[in-house]
Structure 1
Amino acid sequence: LPLALYTATFAVHFMVLSKSGPGDGFFSSAFQARLSGNNLHNASIPEHLAYGSVITVKNLRMAIGYLHSHRHLYPEGIGARQQQVTTYLHKDYNNLWIIKKHNTNSDPLDPSFPVEFVRHGDIIRLEHKETSRNLHSHYHEAPLTRKHYQVTGYGINGTGDSNDFWRIEVVNRKFGNRIKVLRSRIRFIHLVTGCVLGSSGKVLPKWGWEQLEVTCTPYLKETLNSIWNVEDHINPKLPNISLDVLQPSFPEMLLESHMVMIRGNSGLKPKDNEFTSKPWHWPINYQGLRFSGVNDTDFRVYLLGNPVVWWLNLLSITLYLLSGSIIAVAMQRGARLPAEVAGHTARKGQSWTRAWNLCPLLVF
């Protein structure tokens, strides 16, 4: 019954909270397709990836987000001083990339050019739409993850070098197969170094806007960190298909929501110079829980138990345990207690336990 009630609560939750929000990027593309207001909800997009398409690329590991870049450079001493490439959990224009052939800079969307689909095993170049720099890697070490290579944005107006070339592969598919939007699980293999594009999931410092680190890993084992799917897909030369068929079932949504919650909670860390409390502080009311917003202007809440109620309960529990221990030792030694004392002791223990369970928390 408790499990059924818990599951039913989430069923109601999914029915009531069915609209898009700023945290959509934490969830998979299929989950987002059911959220009203999301760009994938009731959407129609081209089914197969083609050269010249404007796309977003999402990591398959939950709560990693979209391949992202911006005009800020890596700071001095952090690999090459080139444009930062990260993953970002929210929808943003800086998540947009143009997929192009590696050996030409012509515009595939020119009406005079026929449509050419991207296939498993093709050598491609990803050009960042907002800055016109190519996705790039080299032998410089990644910012946070040792033995991984740095990933940057490089070049001018799409013109860079051979370190901008990537081989696109579909997991468990044959060479030559077309790549399906949302459905194909793809990897990007760097042509020069042989490493695989991925995200470590580590949070970059303030110079990286606390977004997540993108690296090129020389370890070729298939993990969710290095597997991606194409989510948004814009190409006016291609016909569209409906995304309704991609919406997940209730068990899939239930599992995914819990995985996102687990990962989100595990990623909570105190900010720089923030005064924190330890878990053992809370039961004894030594220090409370702090909740603060991102900005200095946000509201801040300090959660602390009522000291009078809390400490009286702690004292009562201590006395109860002490007296119970004394009585237990006495009975082990053969001492006989009057029935009234034994009954009173049992009732007293029940009352203190009930009071502890009902002890309220007050916010100061």
Structure 2
Amino acid sequence: MGLTRVDEYVMADDRHDSNLGRFSNSHNNLVNQYEEQSSSTYQRQHEQGHYNSMTDGFIRYGSHIVLKHNATGQLLSSHPVDYRAGSKQQEVFACRWPPDENHYWIILPAFGEKRKAADVVSYNTPVRLRHKMTRRNLHSHSDVASPKTNQQEVNCYGDDQISDINDNWLVQRHSYTNNYDNSGYWMVNDVITLRHIQTGATLHSHNITLYDDLQEVTCFGPGHEDNDKLGDSPVSIKRRGPDN
């Protein structure tokens, strides 16, 4: 999948109750303040007709991003519809252009970790990806099969207050072997993989649809395939009307 846009920062002070997976009011207030600010920024950029990547090109905690599956060109997405079988949690899929608000994911610190606001994301660092529209976290677990290929199901789970270790993903450079450099920082143009930390499987998609034009997204393999690539270059999104 290819990174198509980054936005601004979030005050991601990841305090939580480790027993319940619930975050403190302080954390939620910081996130809410960011959302109020970014909402006006989003509207202003929308009216200008395009979105600009951050000037320095770094992905940071709080960046709003769109991820493109490089092999098929489809965009990682979710919506408030649950799988009919398996986990029966919220569906995750890849779908066609143009991007809309269902394609945006917020980069947050991993469950159980604290990061300073707007810190850049290093490689080999765990993160969470929160779906902007539904507020649920990109999530997986080893004991549930995906609906079409019986690979590992990927879903969205939790909310602004509820999260767990199955929301954690390791950011790595894509490589066809295990012998590669994972030092440095995640940049807009990088080709990456997201590895599910609890199971070791990699976020993956392919030309197999769930239904309609929604492409199945799974976790599968060690991350060396073309179907595991998540990273390209930033793009401008053409202006749409205010009611679209």
Same fold (TM over 0.5): yes
What's the CA shift for 1:216?
A: 0.4
Is contact 2:193-2:223 (8 Å) kept? no
Residue of structure 2 aligned with 1:123, choices 126, 135, 141: 126
Q: Gapped runs of 5+ residues in structure 1? A: 1-24, 30-36, 233-242, 245-364
Higher RCO, 1 vs 2 (CA within 8 Å, ≥6 residues apart): 2
Query: Matches of 1:186 and 1:216 in 2, distance apart?
Result: 15
What is the aligned-residue RMSD (CA, Å)? 2.9
Is contact 1:187-1:226 (8 Å) kept? yes
> What TM-score does the superposition give when structure 2 sets the normalisation length?
0.68
Query: Matches of 1:55 and 1:158 in 2, distance apart?
Result: 21
| Closer/same/farther in 2, CA of residues 93 and 171 from structure 1, 3 Å limit | same
Residue of structure 2 aligned with 1:53, choices 49, 59, 63: 63
The structure richer in helix per residue is 1
Q: Once the two structures are aligned, what percentage of the paired residues are identical? A: 28
Moved over 4 A (4+): none
The structure richer in strand per residue is 2
The DSSP-based 3-state class of the residue aligned with 2:128 is strand
Is contact 1:58-1:230 (8 Å) kept? yes
Query: Matches of 2:230 and 2:80 in 1, distance apart?
Result: 23
| Closer/same/farther in 2, CA of residues 135 and 158 from structure 1, 3 Å limit | farther
Residue of structure 2 aligned with 1:84, choices 87, 91, 113: 91
| AA matched with 2:88 | R
The DSSP-based 3-state class of the residue aligned with 1:225 is helix
| AA matched with 2:65 | I
| Closer/same/farther in 2, CA of residues 176 and 54 from structure 1, 3 Å limit | same
Is contact 2:80-2:134 (8 Å) kept? yes
What's the CA shift for 1:200?
A: 2.2
2:145 is equivalent to residue 141 of structure 1: yes
| Closer/same/farther in 2, CA of residues 28 and 231 from structure 1, 3 Å limit | closer
Query: Matches of 2:208 and 2:117 in 1, distance apart?
Result: 42
Query: Matches of 2:149 and 2:101 in 1, distance apart?
Result: 27
- Structure number with larger C-alpha Rg: 1
Partner of 1:180: 187
Partner of 2:83: 74
What's the CA shift for 1:122?
A: 0.2
| Closer/same/farther in 2, CA of residues 51 and 221 from structure 1, 3 Å limit | closer
Q: Gapped runs of 5+ residues in structure 2? A: 5-47, 237-244
Q: Which structure 2 residues correspond to residues 188-267 of structure 1 after superposition, within 5 A?
A: 188-205=194-211, 209-217=212-220, 219-229=221-231
Query: Matches of 2:130 and 2:219 in 1, distance apart?
Result: 17
| Closer/same/farther in 2, CA of residues 89 and 178 from structure 1, 3 Å limit | same
The DSSP-based 3-state class of the residue aligned with 1:204 is strand
| AA matched with 1:145 | T
What's the CA shift for 1:175?
A: 3.1
| Closer/same/farther in 2, CA of residues 28 and 129 from structure 1, 3 Å limit | closer
Query: Matches of 1:57 and 1:143 in 2, distance apart?
Result: 22
Partner of 2:160: 157
Query: Matches of 1:203 and 1:153 in 2, distance apart?
Result: 18
What's the CA shift for 1:134?
A: 0.5
Partner of 1:298: none
Q: Which structure 2 residues correspond to residues 300-315 of structure 1 after superposition, within 5 A?
A: none
Is contact 1:56-1:231 (8 Å) kept? no
| Closer/same/farther in 2, CA of residues 201 and 119 from structure 1, 3 Å limit | same
Is contact 1:141-1:149 (8 Å) kept? yes
Q: Which structure 2 residues correspond to residues 265-344 of structure 1 after superposition, within 5 A?
A: none
Query: Matches of 1:149 and 1:157 in 2, distance apart?
Result: 25
| Closer/same/farther in 2, CA of residues 220 and 136 from structure 1, 3 Å limit | same
